[in-house]
Amino acid sequence: MTDSAAANNPSQAPSPSWAILVVDDEDVFARAVATCLVRAGNTCMVATSLAMAREHIKDPPDLVILDMRLPDGDGLDLLPDLTGVGDAAPPVIVVTAYGDISQAVDAMKMGAADYLRKPLDLDELLITVDKVMESQKLRSRLNFSKARENRSAVPETLLGNSPAIISVRSQIETIAGVGGAAPPTVLIQGETGTGKDVAARLLHRLGPRPDRSFVQVDCASLPKDIIEAELFGHVRGAFTSAHASRAGLIEAAEDGTLFLDEIGELPLALQAKLLNVLERRQVRRVGSTRESPVQARFIAATNRDLEAMVARDEFRDDLYFRLNVLSVSMPSLRECRGDLALLAQHFMAITARSYGRDAPELGPDALDMIEHYDWPGNVRELRNVIERAVLLTPGAVVAAKSLALSQSAFSQTQPSIPIRDPGSSMERASTLDDAERQLIVQALRQAKGNASEAARALRVTRMALRYRIEKHGLRSADFRVG
């Protein structure tokens, strides 16, 4: 396709433009390389000596193509100058004559990204440039991700002293200790805002590879037309806009952790391909015939009922079973009411520190309101409410009115199932736990052991009911008829 035709065809997007420094004392060769790179959409500078090259790298280019033999020294002499520019150091492709392969090897040991041999094939040059720059971009993204994790104001921890949180922390610590060459997959389930992403990061931090990459993929936010290429990568020419090969996020995780958030939103067409990766521990880029080994730990999370989705043929049962090797059920904030004051004070301190303010205190009326609110958005909602209250409170005490909570989400005093007279067939409850157990037993009896129906009657999620059933040593199967 000609340049004018490409310009008139919006589907043929131009390749990324890079600033490239060509360092070679053969003027004709250097100009030919520069012309080729400019035609591919890049900008080029040419240096015919080490001295000229050192002047150019004061404003570092994106890439350096470096000849090994120069009139005022060896190409290797430039590599320390390039690394001296710190994070802005460009990758280097060394060019060497056939008999000087040992020099190319030395350059690779000193940090060069790749090498080419003279006489140079210009098509091979363009492919190598694309490969090196794609690797550089991926490395930059991962470095940014690691730096962001390190700068996070909130460490990966689950605050609270309630039995539910203590149980989850213990479970995560146990699962995190399970290592091996191919760590088992983990499925984290829970309502929206319960901290599933925090649990995933905690699993990574407590695991055997905390210094490796943690790559998070939000399956709900990735457009369906690019999610396959984002996850699995692609080779150059695999589709119209694939101008360069690119590693997917599965490969980017390397031997660290890949966190698939909102896995229930993954299209059915890709579920089989993900299952194949999990089963065979091999990934193949879109358009490629070559497979690469996968060593990452896979953690998936969802706020949806995957069992119900399997029953409706909306989620593959084999993928569900493969993901659910080890599982963590995150409790809702309603199950951890004893932790509300602790969490609220924690979020107040974080907000105050972030905005350079003194942390206020919670007034008695505000604390009472927090403890009686149902928190449908769970911990995320609590954090947002506290942040808003701290920012809008002029004094040293946060009052109830500053919370601006919806009146429709306060705890109901009456349960949604009829309770019989405590003096008749239902024993009088001596503690809150006793009352909870009796309500669950009655709901399961009325639902004939159907946990989903019992959860609806009690107005809790199926996962929340499952936690409470286990907490009280009950089994829904004991209440089934026939």
CATH assignment of the domain containing 307 = 3.40.50.300
Residues 23, 71, single domain; the answer is yes
- What whole-number distance in Å separates Cα of residue 183 and Cα of residue 255? 10
Judgement on whether residues 107 and 170 belong to the same structural domain of the protein: no
The predicted pLDDT at position 171 comes to: 94
- Residue 315 inside a domain? The answer is yes
Assigned domain for 153 exists: no
Phi and psi (nearest 5°) for 36? -60, -45
Q: Give this prediction's pTM.
A: 0.60
> Quick check: 11 and 241 in contact, CB under 8 A?
yes
* 93 bridge partner residues: 65, 114
Task: Report yes or no: 68 and 24 within 8 Å, Cβ to Cβ.
Answer: no
Within-domain flag for 460: yes
**Per-residue pLDDT tens digits for 196-240:** 999 999 999 999 888 888 999 999 888 877 888 889 988 877 887
| Pair 92, 82: CB distance under 8 Å | yes
Between 118 and 261, the more confident residue is 261
Q: Is the pLDDT of residue 426 over 60?
A: no
Residues 416 and 442: their CA atoms lie apart, in Å, by 12
Are both 292 and 227 inside the same structural domain? yes
- Min mean pLDDT across 107-121, 147-161, 194-208, 255-269 is at 147-161
The residue out of 392, 409, 426 marking a domain boundary is 409
- List the CATH number of the domain containing 23: 3.40.50.2300
Q: Do 345 and 306 reside in the same domain of the chain? A: no
User: In CATH, what number is assigned to the domain containing residue 449?
Assistant: 1.10.10
Residue 218 makes CB contacts below 8 A (sequence gap 6+) with 261, 262
Q: Give yes or no: residues 366 and 345 share one domain.
A: yes
Q: Is 457 a domain residue?
A: yes
Domain CATH number, residue 372:
1.10.8.60
Confidence at residue 344, expressed as pLDDT on a 0 to 100 scale:
92
- C-alpha 271/C-alpha 320 separation (Å) is 10
Please indicate, yes or no, if residue 149 is contained in any of the structural domains: no
- Dihedral (CA of 69, 72, 76, 79) sign: negative
Residue 407 pLDDT: 65
Residue 9: inside a domain, yes or no?
no
Range of the domain at 175: 162-329
- What mean pLDDT is reported for the chain? 82
Q: Which residues contact 119 (CB under 8 A, 6 or more apart)?
A: none
Percent of the chain with pLDDT over 70: 83
Last residue of a domain, which of 279, 314, 329? 329
Q: Are residues 221 and 280 in the same domain?
A: yes
What per-residue confidence (pLDDT) applies to 187?
A: 97
- Is the per-residue pLDDT at 157 higher than 90? no
Whole-number pLDDT of residue 315: 96
C-alpha–C-alpha distance, residues 432 and 456, integer Å: 21
pLDDT at residue 110 in the model: 81
Q: Which of the listed residues 106, 141, 176 is the one where a domain comes to its end?
A: 141
- Domain co-membership, 176 together with 285: yes
Instruction: Select from 64, 80, 72, 32 the least CA-distant residue to 48.
Output: 72
Q: What is the tens place of the pLDDT at every residue in 367-422?
A: 888 988 889 899 999 999 999 998 888 878 888 888 888 665 565 433 444 444 44
User: Is the domain of 274 the same as that of 395?
Assistant: no
- 182 and 324 housed in the same domain: yes
User: Looking at the domain assignment, is residue 148 inside a domain?
Assistant: no
Residues 6+ apart with CB under 8 A from 445: 479
Question: Which of 15-19, 145-149, 338-342 ranks highest by mean pLDDT?
Answer: 338-342
338 domain residue, yes or no: yes
Strand partners, 65: 22, 93
pLDDT band with cut points at 50, 70 and 90 for residue 99 = low
User: Same structural domain for residues 315 and 342?
Assistant: no
Q: Is the pLDDT of residue 428 over 60?
A: no
Q: How many residues does the chain have?
A: 482
Query: pLDDT grade, residue 468 (50/70/90)?
Result: confident
Residues 175 and 288 in one domain: yes
Is the pLDDT assigned to residue 3 strictly greater than 70?
Answer: no
Q: Which two tokens stand for residue 334?
A: 């309603």
**Separation of alpha carbons 237 and 239, rounded Å:** 5
d(CA 416, CA 427): 19
User: Residue 73: which pLDDT band, with cuts at 50, 70 and 90?
Assistant: confident
pLDDT at 356: 87
Domain count, the chain: 4
Q: Do 177 and 323 have their domain in common?
A: yes
